[in-house]
Every structure is written in structure tokens, then in C-alpha cells.
Amino acid sequence: MEHYVVTYDIADDKRRSKVFKTLKDYGTHVQESVFEVVLMTEDYVELRHKLLRRIHRDEDSVIFYRQCRACEHDVERLGRKVELVGIGDIVL
């Protein structure tokens, strides 16, 4: 399993909503336009495919930042507590 921070910038409200709902199925919404997800390789491929179908490549962007396992412990969170779903679990 790999841990990712996924950010998106979607120009259209309807597409943004679809991207949000798609990402919500896979991970934890941590801030506006930012999710944390933990994915098996096949889930990563599936999520990537779904997102590619929902965005317009010339107007929108979705960025996956892969974090190494050691880096997960270096994440510092300030402010409100966010309950992460799926860290160390299989997220479907």
C-alpha cells in the first residue's frame, strides 16, 4: 500500500463535485481540494482512471504526491484534528 496526498484544481463546479465524490470513496478529505488516500496498486490505477474520465485535461488538474512509509511519520498537523481513514487499512 502506498500513501498519497491528492490535490485538485477543477474549473467547473459539476466536475469538481464528481472529483470530490470519487476521492471521498478512496480516502480522507483533509482540507479544501486535498485528500489523503492509502491505496493498493490496483486501487491507484482504478482511481486514476476514474479521475481521468471526470476531468478536462486542458482545464483541470489532479496531483498525486506519493509519500514514502517513513515520511508518513514526519507529517505535522496543526489546528483541527482530522480523523484519517484507511491509514494502514485497505480502503475501497
Q: Which of 6-20, 27-41, 46-60, 72-86 has the lowest mean pLDDT?
A: 72-86
Query: Is 9 known to sit in a ligand binding site?
Result: yes
Q: How far apart are CA 44 and CA 65, in angstroms?
A: 12
Q: Which runs of consecutive H residues, i.e. helices, occur in 1-92?
A: 13-24, 41-54, 69-72
pLDDT at 92 > cutoff 50:
no
Indicate the pTM of the whole model: 0.84
**Does the structure show a pLDDT above 80 at 86?**
no
Domain 2-86 fold is Alpha-Beta Plaits (3.30.70)
Residue 91: predicted pLDDT: 46
> 12-38 burial, b for 16+ CB within 10 Å, e for fewer?
eeebbebbbebbeebbbebeebebbbb
| Each residue's pLDDT tens digit, 16-46 | 999 999 999 999 999 999 999 999 999 999 9
